[in-house]
Amino acid sequence: MPDMTIKNESIKREYFNHCRSAQGFAESTINKYAQCIYKWQMCFDNDDFVNFSKEQCDEFKKYLKVEAEKKGTSFSGQYDVLRHVKKFFLWLSDQREYRKIRKTDLDYLRLSKKETSIALEKKEKDIPSLDEIKKIVQNISSTSETDMRDKALIAFLILTGMRISAVVSLPVQAFNRKELSIEQSPSMGVKTKNSKKILSTFLPINWKEGEDMFFEWFDYLITQKGFTSQKPIFPATKSFSTKKVSNEFWGTSGPARKIIKERCKEADVQYYNPHSFRHSVVAFMSERGLTEADKRAISLVLGHEHVGTTFGSYGYGSITPKDAVKRVRDMKYQTNNDLAISLPDEELGKLIKEAIINRNSKTLI
């Protein structure tokens, strides 16, 4: 291996350790960083990172655009690559042998304002309605163990809003039948995002039939299959011919995703990936009259540290422009205490001013 390759790989290893240990990033995130940095190395034939310059930035952007045209990818992919590479070189510029890298040159690792705007433009997400989910589940016959499992799995996803990686790694002991709580604990082997412990429960979706499907499956595992506390709630398939389940966990979430895709097809419903169920949950909740405390509670149950993540990326913030127009137009007909406000703007303004004056007068008294 050439000395230059050894040097580059060595400093990359230090950077990944920094991301892992100092910043707590998951391996999946670090792998994305590695892929982006590798593109830079490919563009410059593994040149020494210390030779970084603004001229290289311009050349790299051209390289990414050519690659994007060949693969038919969008600006969002280029945006992410540039962002991750910039972060790497920013860290690198503080390392002893790389301090000649000028931080001002890092500003060239960016798309134009127009391209950035396109890259960050929110895409409308396809999410399943509750009626579609009911249709998928009701189409499953329940004549075998795998049928029962699949119905319970799909119902559980929408009732809890949990990530699929956590669901497929959930042991029996994680579910408290009496309190209806679900302990997503990495110490139990549950695969949560960033290995975070999350206490969740059934959300008020008002679908009792779905809850009953899960309870029936959970009780079947305990009473009929003899599953102990460390066995999976959603076990892997043991035999496709007899449609029996094993007592083992799935190795990945891939088989569960495949099941959902097949069940959607059987019910003549378009395929929705498991993560879209989380968006549906928040959409359902957003239609309720939520207090700030309600929003905080839902956010915590879904494993989000910030309410803005739940009701921004997932909820109100993901409303489509078409829905936004309809919602604003419907405000005209909204009522307050059963009294419709249908006054002209000038008269309504006068009433508001009088109310403010009266309130201030009472305050002074």
Output the pLDDT for position 125.
66
Report H helices in the chain: 3-17, 27-43, 54-71, 75-92, 113-119, 130-138, 145-160, 164-167, 208-223, 254-266, 274-286, 292-301, 307-308, 321-330, 345-364
Output the pLDDT for position 298.
87
The domain 130-282: what is its CATH number? Answer: 1.10.443.10
Q: What is the pTM of this model?
A: 0.65
CA distance 336 to 343: 13
Name the pLDDT band for 207 (thresholds 50, 70, 90): very high
Q: Considering only CA atoms, give the Rg of the chain.
A: 27
Mean pLDDT computed over 111-118: 90
Output the pLDDT for position 120.
78
Name the token pair of 266: 């059987």
Asked which of 21-35, 51-65, 218-232, 243-257 is least confident by mean pLDDT, the reply is 21-35
Output the pLDDT for position 294.
85
Q: pLDDT by residue (tens digit) across 232-243?
A: 999 999 998 999
Name the token pair of 267: 């019910």
Residues 6+ apart with CB under 8 A from 6: none
Of 133, 180, 129, 172, nearest in space to 155 by CA? 133
Q: Tokens 């002893």 appear where? A: 96
Give the residues across from 239 on adjacent strands: 244
User: Would you kindly state where each structural domain of the chain is located, as residue ranges?
Assistant: 3-119, 130-282, 335-364
Cβ–Cβ contacts within 10 Å for residue 93, how many?
A: 17
Mean pLDDT computed over 219-242: 95
Of 101, 78, 75, nearest in space to 88 by CA? 101
Strands (E), 218-346: 237-239, 244-245, 335-336, 339-340
Of 256, 289, 251, nearest in space to 273 by CA? 256
Mean pLDDT computed over 108-113: 94
Q: Which residues of 9-35 are buried (b: 16+ CB within 10 A; e: fewer)?
A: eebbeebbeebeeeeebeeeebeebbe
Asked which of 98-102, 148-152, 359-363 is least confident by mean pLDDT, the reply is 359-363
Residue 151 phi, psi dihedral angles, 5° rounding: -65, -45
Name the token pair of 332: 């005209």
Asked which of 165-174, 317-326, 339-348 is least confident by mean pLDDT, the reply is 339-348
CA distance 58 to 64: 10
Q: Are 111 and 57 in contact (CB under 8 A)?
A: no
CA distance 217 to 150: 10
Name the pLDDT band for 350 (thresholds 50, 70, 90): low
Output the pLDDT for position 5.
82
Output the pLDDT for position 193.
87
Q: Are 278 and 314 in contact (CB under 8 A)?
A: yes
Q: What is the mean pLDDT of the chain?
A: 85
Question: Above pLDDT 90, what percent of the chain?
Answer: 61
Given a cut of 70, is residue 134 above it in pLDDT? yes
CA distance 221 to 149: 10
Strands (E), the chain: 175-176, 181-184, 198-201, 237-239, 244-245, 335-336, 339-340
Name the pLDDT band for 285 (thresholds 50, 70, 90): confident
Name the pLDDT band for 106 (thresholds 50, 70, 90): very high
Cβ–Cβ contacts within 10 Å for residue 37, how many?
A: 21
CA distance 64 to 39: 8
Q: pLDDT by residue (tens digit) across 252-265?
A: 999 999 999 999 99
Q: pLDDT by residue (tens digit) across 290-343?
A: 788 888 888 888 888 888 777 766 654 445 555 555 555 565 555 544 434 444
Output the pLDDT for position 355.
58
Instruction: List the strands of the sheet with 181-184, edge to edge.
Output: 175-176, 181-184, 198-201
Mean pLDDT computed over 115-126: 76
Q: pLDDT by residue (tens digit) across 65-94?
A: 999 998 887 888 999 999 999 999 999 999
Q: Angle 92-94-100 (CA atoms, 0-180°, nearest 5)?
A: 80
Residue 231 phi, psi dihedral angles, 5° rounding: -85, 155
